[in-house]
Amino acid sequence: MNKTAYITGGSKGIGLGIAQVLLKEGINVAISARTQSDLKTAEEHLKAIGKGEVIVIQSDVRNLANEESAIQKVVATWGRLDYCIANAGIGKFSAIDEMTVEDWNAVVDINLTGVFHTVKACIPALKKSKGYIITMASLAGTNFFQAGAAYNASKFGLVGFSQAIMLDLRPYEIKVTTIMPGSVATFINGQTPSEKDDWKIQPEDIGQMVADLFRMNPRTLPSKLEVRPSVPPSARK
């Protein structure tokens, strides 16, 4: 029986890169996001890979009931859930004196409370499968920067959350890894990846990391992984 994965924020960027790699490994993949048109485009792209099955689910991670029904749909479709990848997130950057309450709430609600909702919803199914949770933190979860108050707070919080739940869930043989990427070529913060982003980590590289984690001998758990571009422009001679 195929293993199954649920990936939040799977319509674009890192989530889509992970979905591509897992499908190529023969894993069935469910992706979720808010924007139906992007989900449709991603579905067509993923189905063309021709390995593993694909379903798309419209869900906003800010809503626990959305995430619970997404997991119910995965279990109703494939009978099990093995991998939960809590990846959905946004970036909004402004100095604290200019930051709006709306931007603060959006970043914290999606990047931190949203991951709590996804994790909460998937635990019953993962207890049965002795499954795996990946959370997508960031190097912004350990390095602070100007205009990063909301994003830093959400990602520092997410790293702490992820390490604590790793301890809570290991008695059930559920593994938890938090990945902390540096710059990845994605659509975050309204960007559009282009050739000028070739020096960055590519989304499928994070997908490869995730696939490698799932192949790790179960006795060993890399619980927190930093990953960065090998030679960013600032490091060039």
Ligand X SMILES: NC(=O)c1ccc[n+]([C@@H]2O[C@H](COP(=O)([O-])OP(=O)(O)OC[C@H]3O[C@@H](n4cnc5c(N)ncnc54)[C@H](OP(=O)(O)O)[C@@H]3O)[C@@H](O)[C@H]2O)c1
Cβ nearer to ligand X, comparing 22 with 184: 184
Amino acid found at 171? P
Query: Of 117, 115, 127, 206, whose CA–CA distance to 163 is shortest?
Result: 115
Distances (CA, A) of 224 to 45, 54, 94, 161: 30, 28, 27, 12
Q: Does residue 88 belong to the site contacting ligand X (CB under 6 A)?
A: yes
- # chain residues binding ligand X, by CB under 6 A: 31
Given 19, 33, 123, 165, the residue binding ligand X (CB under 6 A): 33
Give the rounded distance of the alpha carbon of 41 from its chain centre. Answer: 19
152 binds ligand X (CB under 6 A): no
Do the Cβ atoms of 96 and 16 come closer than 8 Å? no
Q: Does 3 bind ligand X (CB under 6 A)?
A: no
Residue 11 sits in the site that holds ligand X (CB under 6 A): yes
The correct pick among 15, 52, 207, 229 for binding ligand X (CB under 6 A) is 15
Q: Which two tokens stand for residue 210?
A: 């995730």
- Per the CB < 8 A criterion, the answer to whether 19 and 42 are in contact is yes
Active site residue 172: no
Please report whether residue 150 would count as binding ligand X according to CB under 6 A: no
Residues making contact with ligand X (CB under 6 A): 8-9, 11-15, 33-35, 38, 59-62, 87-91, 110-111, 114, 136, 138, 181, 183-184, 186-188
Active-site residue set: 151
